[in-house]
Amino acid sequence: MPGIVSIKKFGPWAAFLAVPRKARKVLHQAVESTVNKQAQSLGDQIKRTIQSGGAGGPALSPITRAKKGHGTKLVDSNELASSIEVTPAQTNGQDGFVGIPKGRGHRGGLSLEQLAAIHEFGTARIPARPFIGPTLKKFVPKLQKSVIKLWDKSVKGLM
pLDDT in tens, 2-44: 667 666 666 676 766 666 777 777 777 777 788 888 889 999 9
DSSP helix/strand/coil, 149? helix
Domain-embedded: residue 25: yes
Q: What is the mean pLDDT of residues 119-125?
A: 92
pLDDT at 95: 80
Domain of residue 119 covers 19-158
Domain-embedded: residue 101: yes
Whole-model pTM?
Answer: 0.73
Q: pLDDT band at residue 86, thresholds of 50, 70 and 90?
A: very high
CA distances from 58 to 53, 79, 133, 158 (A): 11, 21, 16, 51
DSSP helix/strand/coil, 146? helix
pLDDT at 145: 85
Domain-embedded: residue 12: no
% of the chain with per-residue pLDDT over 70? 83
Residue 1 has pLDDT above 60, yes or no: no
Classify residue 93 by its DSSP letter.
S
Domain count, the chain: 1
The residue among 90 and 69 whose pLDDT is bigger is: 69
Domain-embedded: residue 60: yes
Contact 80, 31 (CB under 8 A): no
Domain-embedded: residue 100: yes
Q: pLDDT band at residue 88, thresholds of 50, 70 and 90?
A: confident
pLDDT at 56: 83
